[in-house]
Structure 1
Amino acid sequence: MRNIKKIGRMTLSFLLMYVVVALIGVIFMKQVLLNGSDLNKQLDDSPYYTMVEESLSAKFKTLSLETSIPKEVFVEAAMDQYGLQQLARTNNEQVLNYLIDPDATYKAMTDRSMFEEPVTAYVQSYASEHNQPFDEGLQAQTDTIIAEATAIVGSHIMLFNLDNVIAFPQFQTVRKMLQTVLAYFYLVPLAFLLIAGAIVGLNWKLPHRSLIWIGSGLVSGSAFVIIPAIMALILKIPQRITVSADYINTALRTLALHYTTFFLGSSALVFALGIACLVGYYLISKAKRAAYRRERAYSEEMEYY
Protein backbone atom coordinates (compact mmCIF):
# COMPACT_ATOMS: atom_id res chain seq x y z
CA MET A 1 0.00 0.00 0.00
CA ARG A 2 2.85 2.35 0.87
CA ASN A 3 4.47 1.64 -2.49
CA ILE A 4 1.21 2.38 -4.31
CA LYS A 5 0.90 5.72 -2.51
CA LYS A 6 4.53 6.54 -3.28
CA ILE A 7 4.02 5.76 -6.96
CA GLY A 8 0.86 7.90 -6.87
CA ARG A 9 2.74 10.84 -5.35
CA MET A 10 5.53 10.57 -7.93
CA THR A 11 3.06 10.34 -10.78
CA LEU A 12 1.08 13.34 -9.57
CA SER A 13 4.27 15.37 -9.06
CA PHE A 14 5.33 14.43 -12.60
CA LEU A 15 1.96 15.55 -13.97
CA LEU A 16 2.17 18.75 -11.93
CA MET A 17 5.44 19.57 -13.68
CA TYR A 18 3.73 19.60 -17.09
CA VAL A 19 0.71 21.46 -15.77
CA VAL A 20 3.06 24.19 -14.49
CA VAL A 21 4.54 24.54 -18.00
CA ALA A 22 1.03 24.66 -19.49
CA LEU A 23 -0.08 27.22 -16.90
CA ILE A 24 2.81 29.55 -17.70
CA GLY A 25 2.04 29.09 -21.40
CA VAL A 26 -1.68 29.87 -21.23
CA ILE A 27 -1.08 32.87 -18.96
CA PHE A 28 1.46 34.15 -21.50
CA MET A 29 -1.00 33.62 -24.35
CA LYS A 30 -3.89 35.32 -22.58
CA GLN A 31 -2.12 38.19 -20.83
CA VAL A 32 0.77 38.95 -23.18
CA LEU A 33 0.78 37.38 -26.65
CA LEU A 34 -2.87 38.14 -27.49
CA ASN A 35 -3.12 41.32 -25.45
CA GLY A 36 -3.37 44.34 -27.76
CA SER A 37 -2.67 46.84 -24.99
CA ASP A 38 0.53 45.05 -24.01
CA LEU A 39 1.71 44.82 -27.63
CA ASN A 40 1.06 48.50 -28.29
CA LYS A 41 2.81 49.53 -25.08
CA GLN A 42 5.95 47.65 -26.10
CA LEU A 43 5.97 49.36 -29.51
CA ASP A 44 5.32 52.78 -27.95
CA ASP A 45 8.35 52.35 -25.68
CA SER A 46 10.66 51.31 -28.53
CA PRO A 47 12.20 53.18 -31.52
CA TYR A 48 9.61 51.47 -33.74
CA TYR A 49 7.60 54.56 -34.74
CA THR A 50 10.72 56.64 -35.31
CA MET A 51 11.99 54.01 -37.73
CA VAL A 52 8.55 53.84 -39.40
CA GLU A 53 8.77 57.58 -40.07
CA GLU A 54 12.29 57.20 -41.50
CA SER A 55 11.12 54.44 -43.84
CA LEU A 56 8.06 56.45 -44.86
CA SER A 57 10.26 59.43 -45.65
CA ALA A 58 12.39 57.29 -47.97
CA LYS A 59 9.31 55.86 -49.72
CA PHE A 60 7.82 59.33 -50.18
CA LYS A 61 11.08 60.51 -51.72
CA THR A 62 10.75 57.77 -54.34
CA LEU A 63 7.08 58.62 -54.91
CA SER A 64 8.07 62.27 -55.31
CA LEU A 65 10.55 61.38 -58.05
CA GLU A 66 7.87 59.35 -59.82
CA THR A 67 5.11 61.99 -59.60
CA SER A 68 7.04 65.30 -59.50
CA ILE A 69 5.09 66.22 -56.37
CA PRO A 70 7.47 67.49 -53.67
CA LYS A 71 8.25 64.98 -50.94
CA GLU A 72 7.25 67.52 -48.31
CA VAL A 73 3.62 67.38 -49.47
CA PHE A 74 3.43 63.69 -48.56
CA VAL A 75 5.59 63.98 -45.45
CA GLU A 76 3.64 66.84 -43.91
CA ALA A 77 0.37 65.04 -44.59
CA ALA A 78 1.45 61.69 -43.12
CA MET A 79 3.96 62.51 -40.41
CA ASP A 80 1.47 63.26 -37.66
CA GLN A 81 3.04 60.80 -35.22
CA TYR A 82 -0.07 60.50 -33.10
CA GLY A 83 -2.15 59.78 -36.18
CA LEU A 84 0.28 57.09 -37.37
CA GLN A 85 0.43 55.52 -33.93
CA GLN A 86 -3.33 55.53 -33.59
CA LEU A 87 -3.77 53.80 -36.96
CA ALA A 88 -1.09 51.24 -36.05
CA ARG A 89 -2.65 50.58 -32.64
CA THR A 90 -6.06 50.11 -34.20
CA ASN A 91 -4.71 47.62 -36.74
CA ASN A 92 -2.78 45.68 -34.10
CA GLU A 93 -5.82 45.44 -31.85
CA GLN A 94 -8.02 44.43 -34.77
CA VAL A 95 -5.64 41.61 -35.72
CA LEU A 96 -5.55 40.23 -32.18
CA ASN A 97 -9.29 40.63 -31.77
CA TYR A 98 -9.84 38.67 -34.98
CA LEU A 99 -7.64 35.87 -33.65
CA ILE A 100 -9.46 35.53 -30.33
CA ASP A 101 -13.05 36.37 -31.28
CA PRO A 102 -14.86 33.79 -33.47
CA ASP A 103 -17.38 36.41 -34.61
CA ALA A 104 -14.87 39.14 -35.45
CA THR A 105 -14.17 40.34 -38.98
CA TYR A 106 -10.92 41.69 -40.34
CA LYS A 107 -10.38 44.74 -42.52
CA ALA A 108 -7.10 46.64 -42.60
CA MET A 109 -7.51 50.28 -41.57
CA THR A 110 -6.01 53.01 -43.77
CA ASP A 111 -6.62 56.75 -43.93
CA ARG A 112 -6.86 58.11 -47.46
CA SER A 113 -8.21 61.44 -46.24
CA MET A 114 -4.81 62.60 -44.95
CA PHE A 115 -3.56 62.95 -48.54
CA GLU A 116 -6.69 64.05 -50.39
CA GLU A 117 -6.62 67.75 -49.55
CA PRO A 118 -2.85 68.52 -49.71
CA VAL A 119 -2.14 66.45 -52.82
CA THR A 120 -5.22 67.72 -54.66
CA ALA A 121 -4.42 71.30 -53.68
CA TYR A 122 -0.85 70.99 -54.96
CA VAL A 123 -1.91 69.46 -58.29
CA GLN A 124 -4.59 72.14 -58.77
CA SER A 125 -2.08 74.88 -57.99
CA TYR A 126 0.46 73.37 -60.36
CA ALA A 127 -2.14 73.05 -63.13
CA SER A 128 -3.25 76.65 -62.62
CA GLU A 129 0.32 77.96 -62.80
CA HIS A 130 0.86 76.12 -66.09
CA ASN A 131 -2.54 76.99 -67.56
CA GLN A 132 -3.71 73.40 -67.52
CA PRO A 133 -7.31 72.46 -66.71
CA PHE A 134 -7.94 70.23 -63.73
CA ASP A 135 -9.97 67.90 -65.91
CA GLU A 136 -11.07 64.30 -65.42
CA GLY A 137 -7.75 62.93 -66.65
CA LEU A 138 -5.74 64.97 -64.17
CA GLN A 139 -8.22 64.13 -61.41
CA ALA A 140 -7.75 60.43 -62.17
CA GLN A 141 -3.96 60.80 -61.99
CA THR A 142 -4.33 62.65 -58.69
CA ASP A 143 -6.53 59.87 -57.30
CA THR A 144 -3.92 57.30 -58.34
CA ILE A 145 -1.17 59.23 -56.56
CA ILE A 146 -3.31 59.53 -53.42
CA ALA A 147 -3.99 55.79 -53.55
CA GLU A 148 -0.24 55.05 -53.85
CA ALA A 149 0.60 57.32 -50.91
CA THR A 150 -2.18 55.72 -48.84
CA ALA A 151 -0.88 52.24 -49.70
CA ILE A 152 2.60 53.22 -48.56
CA VAL A 153 1.27 54.38 -45.20
CA GLY A 154 -0.93 51.29 -44.95
CA SER A 155 2.01 48.94 -45.44
CA HIS A 156 3.91 50.74 -42.67
CA ILE A 157 1.18 50.80 -40.03
CA MET A 158 0.32 47.10 -40.33
CA LEU A 159 2.82 45.08 -38.36
CA PHE A 160 0.65 42.01 -38.95
CA ASN A 161 -1.23 41.96 -42.24
CA LEU A 162 -3.67 39.06 -42.40
CA ASP A 163 -4.84 39.75 -45.95
CA ASN A 164 -2.38 37.23 -47.40
CA VAL A 165 -3.21 34.38 -45.01
CA ILE A 166 -6.80 34.86 -43.91
CA ALA A 167 -8.21 32.69 -46.71
CA PHE A 168 -5.95 29.70 -45.97
CA PRO A 169 -7.67 26.86 -44.08
CA GLN A 170 -4.44 26.19 -42.14
CA PHE A 171 -4.57 29.71 -40.71
CA GLN A 172 -8.20 29.33 -39.74
CA THR A 173 -7.35 26.03 -38.04
CA VAL A 174 -4.68 27.73 -35.94
CA ARG A 175 -7.14 30.53 -35.15
CA LYS A 176 -9.72 28.01 -33.91
CA MET A 177 -7.08 26.30 -31.79
CA LEU A 178 -6.19 29.61 -30.13
CA GLN A 179 -9.85 30.32 -29.46
CA THR A 180 -10.32 26.85 -27.97
CA VAL A 181 -7.34 27.29 -25.65
CA LEU A 182 -8.67 30.66 -24.47
CA ALA A 183 -12.21 29.31 -24.04
CA TYR A 184 -10.99 26.47 -21.80
CA PHE A 185 -8.24 28.47 -20.12
CA TYR A 186 -9.70 27.77 -16.68
CA LEU A 187 -9.06 24.00 -17.04
CA VAL A 188 -5.30 24.46 -16.59
CA PRO A 189 -5.38 26.21 -13.18
CA LEU A 190 -8.19 23.83 -12.20
CA ALA A 191 -5.98 20.86 -13.08
CA PHE A 192 -3.19 22.40 -11.00
CA LEU A 193 -5.48 22.72 -7.97
CA LEU A 194 -6.87 19.19 -8.40
CA ILE A 195 -3.42 17.59 -8.67
CA ALA A 196 -2.09 19.59 -5.71
CA GLY A 197 -5.20 18.59 -3.74
CA ALA A 198 -4.70 14.93 -4.65
CA ILE A 199 -1.09 15.10 -3.42
CA VAL A 200 -2.29 16.56 -0.13
CA GLY A 201 -4.90 13.78 0.08
CA LEU A 202 -2.23 11.08 -0.32
CA ASN A 203 -0.30 12.70 2.53
CA TRP A 204 -3.26 13.38 4.81
CA LYS A 205 -1.56 11.76 7.83
CA LEU A 206 1.53 13.95 7.40
CA PRO A 207 0.31 16.94 5.32
CA HIS A 208 3.66 18.72 5.38
CA ARG A 209 5.08 15.97 3.16
CA SER A 210 2.88 17.33 0.38
CA LEU A 211 5.25 20.29 0.18
CA ILE A 212 8.14 18.20 -1.14
CA TRP A 213 6.03 16.70 -3.94
CA ILE A 214 4.34 19.97 -4.88
CA GLY A 215 7.63 21.85 -4.61
CA SER A 216 9.38 19.31 -6.83
CA GLY A 217 6.69 19.73 -9.50
CA LEU A 218 6.95 23.52 -9.35
CA VAL A 219 10.76 23.56 -9.50
CA SER A 220 11.10 21.02 -12.33
CA GLY A 221 8.22 22.53 -14.35
CA SER A 222 9.56 26.08 -14.10
CA ALA A 223 13.06 24.85 -15.00
CA PHE A 224 11.68 23.72 -18.38
CA VAL A 225 10.89 27.37 -19.08
CA ILE A 226 13.74 29.11 -17.24
CA ILE A 227 16.58 27.29 -19.00
CA PRO A 228 15.50 28.09 -22.60
CA ALA A 229 14.70 31.69 -21.61
CA ILE A 230 18.13 32.17 -20.03
CA MET A 231 19.84 30.59 -23.03
CA ALA A 232 17.89 32.86 -25.40
CA LEU A 233 19.01 35.94 -23.45
CA ILE A 234 22.63 34.78 -23.17
CA LEU A 235 22.82 34.03 -26.88
CA LYS A 236 20.90 37.26 -27.66
CA ILE A 237 18.48 35.40 -29.89
CA PRO A 238 15.76 38.12 -29.75
CA GLN A 239 18.26 40.70 -30.99
CA ARG A 240 19.25 38.49 -33.92
CA ILE A 241 15.83 38.38 -35.55
CA THR A 242 16.19 39.75 -39.08
CA VAL A 243 13.57 40.23 -41.77
CA SER A 244 13.26 42.73 -44.61
CA ALA A 245 12.53 46.19 -43.19
CA ASP A 246 14.43 47.75 -40.30
CA TYR A 247 11.31 48.98 -38.53
CA ILE A 248 9.79 45.49 -38.60
CA ASN A 249 13.07 44.10 -37.27
CA THR A 250 12.87 46.56 -34.41
CA ALA A 251 9.28 45.62 -33.59
CA LEU A 252 9.91 41.87 -33.68
CA ARG A 253 13.10 42.14 -31.63
CA THR A 254 11.34 44.29 -29.05
CA LEU A 255 8.45 41.86 -28.75
CA ALA A 256 10.71 38.78 -28.70
CA LEU A 257 12.78 40.28 -25.88
CA HIS A 258 9.62 41.18 -23.97
CA TYR A 259 8.20 37.67 -24.40
CA THR A 260 11.47 36.04 -23.33
CA THR A 261 11.66 38.28 -20.28
CA PHE A 262 8.09 37.42 -19.36
CA PHE A 263 8.82 33.70 -19.54
CA LEU A 264 11.93 34.15 -17.42
CA GLY A 265 10.19 36.32 -14.82
CA SER A 266 7.05 34.19 -14.51
CA SER A 267 8.95 30.90 -14.35
CA ALA A 268 11.41 32.36 -11.84
CA LEU A 269 8.45 33.26 -9.64
CA VAL A 270 7.13 29.68 -9.86
CA PHE A 271 10.64 28.36 -9.20
CA ALA A 272 10.91 30.52 -6.08
CA LEU A 273 7.52 29.22 -4.91
CA GLY A 274 8.73 25.65 -5.42
CA ILE A 275 11.91 26.34 -3.45
CA ALA A 276 9.77 27.87 -0.69
CA CYS A 277 7.75 24.64 -0.55
CA LEU A 278 10.90 22.54 -0.28
CA VAL A 279 12.38 24.81 2.39
CA GLY A 280 9.06 24.76 4.23
CA TYR A 281 9.09 20.95 4.16
CA TYR A 282 12.65 20.91 5.50
CA LEU A 283 11.91 23.36 8.33
CA ILE A 284 8.69 21.62 9.38
CA SER A 285 10.38 18.20 9.28
CA LYS A 286 13.29 19.54 11.29
CA ALA A 287 10.94 21.03 13.88
CA LYS A 288 8.97 17.76 14.13
CA ARG A 289 12.16 15.74 14.58
CA ALA A 290 13.34 18.11 17.30
CA ALA A 291 9.96 17.90 19.02
CA TYR A 292 10.04 14.10 18.77
CA ARG A 293 13.53 13.95 20.32
CA ARG A 294 12.47 16.23 23.16
CA GLU A 295 9.36 14.15 23.80
CA ARG A 296 11.37 10.93 23.75
CA ALA A 297 13.99 12.35 26.08
CA TYR A 298 11.26 13.48 28.45
CA SER A 299 9.61 10.02 28.37
CA GLU A 300 12.93 8.31 29.08
CA GLU A 301 13.57 10.70 31.95
CA MET A 302 10.13 9.99 33.45
CA GLU A 303 10.75 6.25 33.19
CA TYR A 304 14.08 6.67 34.98
CA TYR A 305 12.41 8.35 37.95
Structure 2
Amino acid sequence: MKSLIRPASLPDAADVCAVHCSDISHWRAWDASGSARPARYADLTPCQRWLNGGPWLDPGLCRRHLQRVAEGGGYAWVAEHKGRALAEAEAFLADEPPPYGRNLNLSALYVHRHFRGQGLGSALLAAALAFAQEQGCHTFTVSRPDAPAFYAAHGLRPGPRWGHWQLPARRSRVRYTVDPLPDTGYSLVRGYALLAGRFQNAGHDWERVRSGGAPDFPEWRGVKLDRNWMTVRGQRAAVVLEESPRAPGTAEAFVFAPPDVALTGQWVSAIGDHAAWSGFTRVNLFVPAPFAHPHARRLEDVQRVMWKVVRGQESGVSSQHSA
Protein backbone atom coordinates (compact mmCIF):
# COMPACT_ATOMS: atom_id res chain seq x y z
CA MET A 1 0.00 0.00 0.00
CA LYS A 2 1.35 3.42 -0.94
CA SER A 3 1.49 5.80 1.98
CA LEU A 4 2.85 9.19 2.96
CA ILE A 5 5.12 9.13 6.00
CA ARG A 6 4.96 12.52 7.72
CA PRO A 7 5.16 14.07 11.20
CA ALA A 8 1.99 13.66 13.23
CA SER A 9 0.00 16.78 14.10
CA LEU A 10 -2.82 17.50 16.54
CA PRO A 11 -5.57 17.09 13.89
CA ASP A 12 -4.38 13.47 13.53
CA ALA A 13 -5.51 12.67 17.09
CA ALA A 14 -8.82 11.06 16.08
CA ASP A 15 -7.13 8.82 13.48
CA VAL A 16 -4.30 7.90 15.87
CA CYS A 17 -6.88 7.06 18.54
CA ALA A 18 -8.68 4.79 16.05
CA VAL A 19 -5.39 3.03 15.20
CA HIS A 20 -4.69 2.19 18.84
CA CYS A 21 -8.31 1.33 19.69
CA SER A 22 -8.32 -1.22 16.86
CA ASP A 23 -5.70 -3.17 18.83
CA ILE A 24 -8.07 -3.70 21.80
CA SER A 25 -10.31 -6.76 21.44
CA HIS A 26 -12.07 -6.51 24.83
CA TRP A 27 -12.59 -3.38 26.92
CA ARG A 28 -12.47 -3.55 30.70
CA ALA A 29 -13.45 -1.35 33.64
CA TRP A 30 -11.87 -1.48 37.10
CA ASP A 31 -13.64 -0.93 40.40
CA ALA A 32 -12.16 0.62 43.54
CA SER A 33 -10.77 -2.74 44.67
CA GLY A 34 -8.86 -3.17 41.40
CA SER A 35 -11.12 -5.92 40.04
CA ALA A 36 -11.79 -5.78 36.29
CA ARG A 37 -15.03 -6.51 34.46
CA PRO A 38 -16.05 -6.40 30.78
CA ALA A 39 -17.28 -3.00 29.62
CA ARG A 40 -18.38 -1.05 26.58
CA TYR A 41 -16.05 1.65 25.27
CA ALA A 42 -18.82 4.27 25.40
CA ASP A 43 -19.36 3.62 29.12
CA LEU A 44 -15.71 4.13 30.10
CA THR A 45 -14.34 7.33 31.61
CA PRO A 46 -11.17 8.80 30.06
CA CYS A 47 -9.22 7.34 32.99
CA GLN A 48 -10.67 3.86 32.38
CA ARG A 49 -9.85 4.12 28.68
CA TRP A 50 -6.26 5.03 29.61
CA LEU A 51 -6.00 1.97 31.84
CA ASN A 52 -6.92 -0.25 28.88
CA GLY A 53 -3.72 0.69 27.09
CA GLY A 54 -2.54 4.27 27.40
CA PRO A 55 -3.32 7.85 26.41
CA TRP A 56 -4.10 7.02 22.78
CA LEU A 57 -7.41 5.32 23.60
CA ASP A 58 -9.44 8.50 24.07
CA PRO A 59 -9.49 11.25 21.39
CA GLY A 60 -9.00 14.10 23.87
CA LEU A 61 -6.24 12.32 25.76
CA CYS A 62 -4.58 11.37 22.49
CA ARG A 63 -4.49 14.98 21.37
CA ARG A 64 -2.95 16.02 24.68
CA HIS A 65 -0.44 13.17 24.43
CA LEU A 66 0.71 14.18 20.94
CA GLN A 67 1.17 17.73 22.18
CA ARG A 68 3.25 16.56 25.16
CA VAL A 69 5.42 14.37 22.91
CA ALA A 70 6.25 17.41 20.77
CA GLU A 71 6.77 19.72 23.76
CA GLY A 72 8.96 17.12 25.49
CA GLY A 73 11.37 16.78 22.58
CA GLY A 74 9.86 13.60 21.16
CA TYR A 75 8.86 12.73 17.62
CA ALA A 76 5.69 11.20 16.20
CA TRP A 77 4.99 10.11 12.64
CA VAL A 78 1.97 8.75 10.83
CA ALA A 79 1.53 6.68 7.67
CA GLU A 80 -1.22 8.42 5.71
CA HIS A 81 -3.26 6.80 2.94
CA LYS A 82 -5.99 8.70 1.10
CA GLY A 83 -6.06 11.41 3.73
CA ARG A 84 -6.31 9.07 6.71
CA ALA A 85 -3.60 8.14 9.22
CA LEU A 86 -3.56 4.33 9.35
CA ALA A 87 -0.41 3.80 11.43
CA GLU A 88 1.56 5.76 14.01
CA ALA A 89 5.04 5.69 15.54
CA GLU A 90 6.74 7.65 18.34
CA ALA A 91 10.37 8.00 19.38
CA PHE A 92 12.61 9.93 21.76
CA LEU A 93 16.27 10.88 21.53
CA ALA A 94 18.62 10.49 24.49
CA ASP A 95 22.32 10.90 25.15
CA GLU A 96 23.47 8.18 27.54
CA PRO A 97 26.76 6.47 28.43
CA PRO A 98 27.64 3.18 26.68
CA PRO A 99 26.26 0.79 25.73
CA TYR A 100 23.51 3.05 24.35
CA GLY A 101 25.36 6.28 23.55
CA ARG A 102 23.27 8.70 21.53
CA ASN A 103 20.07 6.71 21.21
CA LEU A 104 16.75 6.87 19.40
CA ASN A 105 14.18 4.67 21.10
CA LEU A 106 11.00 3.68 19.28
CA SER A 107 8.43 3.85 22.07
CA ALA A 108 5.35 3.08 19.94
CA LEU A 109 4.57 1.61 16.52
CA TYR A 110 0.98 0.62 15.78
CA VAL A 111 -0.86 -0.18 12.56
CA HIS A 112 -4.64 -0.21 12.33
CA ARG A 113 -5.81 -3.79 12.64
CA HIS A 114 -7.65 -3.73 9.29
CA PHE A 115 -4.59 -2.52 7.37
CA ARG A 116 -1.81 -4.75 8.69
CA GLY A 117 0.45 -6.73 6.40
CA GLN A 118 0.53 -3.98 3.77
CA GLY A 119 3.90 -2.43 4.58
CA LEU A 120 2.78 0.50 6.73
CA GLY A 121 4.71 -0.62 9.81
CA SER A 122 7.83 -1.31 7.75
CA ALA A 123 7.61 2.14 6.18
CA LEU A 124 7.37 3.83 9.59
CA LEU A 125 10.24 1.75 10.98
CA ALA A 126 12.42 2.60 7.97
CA ALA A 127 11.66 6.29 8.47
CA ALA A 128 12.59 6.07 12.16
CA LEU A 129 15.86 4.27 11.38
CA ALA A 130 16.71 6.90 8.76
CA PHE A 131 15.98 9.62 11.31
CA ALA A 132 18.33 7.92 13.80
CA GLN A 133 21.11 8.06 11.23
CA GLU A 134 20.37 11.71 10.44
CA GLN A 135 20.61 12.54 14.15
CA GLY A 136 23.99 10.84 14.51
CA CYS A 137 22.68 8.15 16.82
CA HIS A 138 24.88 5.32 18.02
CA THR A 139 22.01 2.93 18.74
CA PHE A 140 18.37 2.44 17.77
CA THR A 141 16.28 0.56 20.33
CA VAL A 142 12.84 -0.91 20.84
CA SER A 143 12.11 -1.76 24.47
CA ARG A 144 10.06 -4.89 25.15
CA PRO A 145 8.81 -5.22 21.57
CA ASP A 146 5.44 -6.87 20.96
CA ALA A 147 6.57 -8.29 17.60
CA PRO A 148 10.23 -9.36 17.93
CA ALA A 149 10.18 -11.27 14.63
CA PHE A 150 9.13 -8.09 12.79
CA TYR A 151 12.03 -6.11 14.26
CA ALA A 152 14.49 -8.95 13.70
CA ALA A 153 13.53 -8.94 10.02
CA HIS A 154 14.62 -5.29 9.91
CA GLY A 155 18.04 -5.94 11.42
CA LEU A 156 17.40 -5.50 15.15
CA ARG A 157 18.93 -7.99 17.55
CA PRO A 158 18.50 -8.80 21.26
CA GLY A 159 20.33 -6.27 23.41
CA PRO A 160 20.91 -5.72 27.14
CA ARG A 161 18.61 -7.57 29.55
CA TRP A 162 16.59 -5.91 32.29
CA GLY A 163 14.44 -7.26 35.10
CA HIS A 164 11.72 -5.90 37.39
CA TRP A 165 12.12 -6.31 41.15
CA GLN A 166 10.26 -5.19 44.26
CA LEU A 167 11.67 -4.34 47.69
CA PRO A 168 10.00 -3.20 50.91
CA ALA A 169 10.38 0.50 51.68
CA ARG A 170 12.24 0.28 54.95
CA ARG A 171 14.38 2.44 57.18
CA SER A 172 18.14 1.93 57.10
CA ARG A 173 21.26 3.45 58.62
CA VAL A 174 22.81 4.59 55.35
CA ARG A 175 23.54 8.31 55.28
CA TYR A 176 22.32 10.44 52.41
CA THR A 177 20.94 13.89 51.67
CA VAL A 178 18.03 15.03 49.50
CA ASP A 179 17.36 18.31 47.73
CA PRO A 180 14.38 19.24 45.53
CA LEU A 181 14.78 18.36 41.86
CA PRO A 182 13.89 21.20 39.45
CA ASP A 183 11.02 20.50 37.07
CA THR A 184 13.00 21.25 33.92
CA GLY A 185 13.60 19.52 30.61
CA TYR A 186 15.84 16.60 29.76
CA SER A 187 18.90 18.83 29.35
CA LEU A 188 19.29 18.74 33.15
CA VAL A 189 20.32 15.07 33.03
CA ARG A 190 21.57 14.77 29.45
CA GLY A 191 24.54 12.40 29.40
CA TYR A 192 23.39 10.61 32.55
CA ALA A 193 22.74 6.88 32.73
CA LEU A 194 19.27 5.67 33.66
CA LEU A 195 20.28 3.12 36.29
CA ALA A 196 16.71 2.16 37.21
CA GLY A 197 13.44 2.68 35.37
CA ARG A 198 14.73 2.55 31.78
CA PHE A 199 11.43 1.43 30.32
CA GLN A 200 12.16 3.33 27.09
CA ASN A 201 15.22 5.60 27.24
CA ALA A 202 16.46 8.44 29.43
CA GLY A 203 14.84 11.16 27.30
CA HIS A 204 11.43 9.49 27.22
CA ASP A 205 11.39 8.41 30.85
CA TRP A 206 12.57 11.80 32.11
CA GLU A 207 9.54 13.41 30.46
CA ARG A 208 7.33 10.67 31.91
CA VAL A 209 8.22 11.57 35.49
CA ARG A 210 7.99 15.35 35.21
CA SER A 211 5.10 17.18 36.84
CA GLY A 212 2.06 16.92 34.58
CA GLY A 213 3.35 13.76 32.93
CA ALA A 214 0.00 12.09 33.58
CA PRO A 215 -3.47 13.62 33.21
CA ASP A 216 -5.22 15.11 36.22
CA PHE A 217 -7.84 12.39 36.48
CA PRO A 218 -10.11 12.70 39.54
CA GLU A 219 -9.30 9.03 40.21
CA TRP A 220 -5.56 9.81 40.33
CA ARG A 221 -5.57 12.90 42.51
CA GLY A 222 -3.38 12.34 45.53
CA VAL A 223 -1.01 10.00 43.66
CA LYS A 224 2.50 10.94 44.78
CA LEU A 225 5.42 11.98 42.60
CA ASP A 226 8.57 12.43 44.71
CA ARG A 227 11.43 14.16 42.82
CA ASN A 228 14.80 14.82 44.48
CA TRP A 229 18.51 15.04 44.06
CA MET A 230 19.97 12.34 46.33
CA THR A 231 23.59 12.28 47.45
CA VAL A 232 25.15 9.08 48.80
CA ARG A 233 28.83 9.00 49.79
CA GLY A 234 29.51 12.17 47.80
CA GLN A 235 27.81 10.91 44.62
CA ARG A 236 24.67 12.66 43.40
CA ALA A 237 21.82 11.33 41.26
CA ALA A 238 18.32 12.43 40.31
CA VAL A 239 15.83 10.04 41.93
CA VAL A 240 12.11 10.06 41.18
CA LEU A 241 9.58 7.90 43.01
CA GLU A 242 6.34 7.57 41.02
CA GLU A 243 3.36 6.09 42.85
CA SER A 244 1.32 3.55 40.91
CA PRO A 245 -2.37 4.53 40.53
CA ARG A 246 -3.23 0.82 40.51
CA ALA A 247 -1.15 -0.02 43.59
CA PRO A 248 -1.26 2.81 46.16
CA GLY A 249 1.84 2.83 48.33
CA THR A 250 4.04 1.29 45.63
CA ALA A 251 6.69 3.54 44.06
CA GLU A 252 8.47 2.95 40.76
CA ALA A 253 12.03 4.26 41.15
CA PHE A 254 13.79 6.17 38.37
CA VAL A 255 17.50 6.87 38.93
CA PHE A 256 19.35 9.22 36.56
CA ALA A 257 23.05 9.33 37.41
CA PRO A 258 26.42 10.46 36.01
CA PRO A 259 28.45 7.74 34.28
CA ASP A 260 30.69 7.15 37.32
CA VAL A 261 27.78 6.31 39.66
CA ALA A 262 26.67 2.68 40.10
CA LEU A 263 23.48 1.37 41.71
CA THR A 264 25.20 -0.14 44.74
CA GLY A 265 23.58 -1.70 47.76
CA GLN A 266 24.01 1.60 49.60
CA TRP A 267 22.08 3.41 46.90
CA VAL A 268 19.30 0.81 47.03
CA SER A 269 19.13 1.14 50.82
CA ALA A 270 19.04 4.94 50.61
CA ILE A 271 16.22 4.84 48.07
CA GLY A 272 14.28 2.40 50.25
CA ASP A 273 14.81 4.57 53.33
CA HIS A 274 13.68 7.73 51.55
CA ALA A 275 10.66 5.89 50.15
CA ALA A 276 9.67 4.87 53.68
CA TRP A 277 10.07 8.46 54.91
CA SER A 278 7.88 9.61 52.01
CA GLY A 279 5.04 7.28 52.94
CA PHE A 280 5.60 4.46 50.47
CA THR A 281 5.49 0.82 51.51
CA ARG A 282 7.15 -0.81 48.47
CA VAL A 283 9.70 0.18 45.83
CA ASN A 284 9.91 -1.29 42.34
CA LEU A 285 13.25 -1.33 40.52
CA PHE A 286 13.51 -2.02 36.78
CA VAL A 287 17.26 -2.62 36.48
CA PRO A 288 19.88 -4.32 34.28
CA ALA A 289 20.37 -8.04 34.79
CA PRO A 290 21.78 -9.64 36.81
CA PHE A 291 20.49 -8.01 40.00
CA ALA A 292 20.66 -9.34 43.55
CA HIS A 293 19.42 -7.92 46.84
CA PRO A 294 18.53 -9.87 50.00
CA HIS A 295 15.07 -8.28 50.29
CA ALA A 296 14.14 -8.18 46.59
CA ARG A 297 11.59 -10.40 44.88
CA ARG A 298 11.30 -10.66 41.13
CA LEU A 299 8.09 -9.27 39.66
CA GLU A 300 8.59 -10.55 36.14
CA ASP A 301 11.12 -12.38 34.03
CA VAL A 302 14.02 -10.54 32.50
CA GLN A 303 12.99 -8.53 29.45
CA ARG A 304 15.25 -7.88 26.50
CA VAL A 305 15.72 -4.68 24.56
CA MET A 306 15.99 -5.12 20.79
CA TRP A 307 18.44 -2.82 19.10
CA LYS A 308 20.46 -1.97 16.08
CA VAL A 309 23.92 -0.44 16.28
CA VAL A 310 23.94 2.55 13.95
CA ARG A 311 27.47 3.82 14.72
CA GLY A 312 29.01 1.04 16.80
CA GLN A 313 32.66 2.11 16.60
CA GLU A 314 31.89 5.55 18.04
CA SER A 315 29.33 4.48 20.62
CA GLY A 316 31.53 2.26 22.74
CA VAL A 317 29.10 -0.60 22.15
CA SER A 318 30.87 -3.92 22.51
CA SER A 319 30.46 -6.63 19.91
CA GLN A 320 29.21 -9.10 22.52
CA HIS A 321 26.17 -6.89 23.20
CA SER A 322 25.26 -6.54 19.54
CA ALA A 323 25.64 -10.21 18.73
What is the TM-score of this pair, normalised by structure 2?
0.21
> Could you say which structure has the higher helix fraction?
1
What is the TM-score of this pair, normalised by structure 1?
0.21
Q: Mark the structure with the bigger radius of gyration.
A: 1
> Could you say which structure has the higher strand fraction?
2
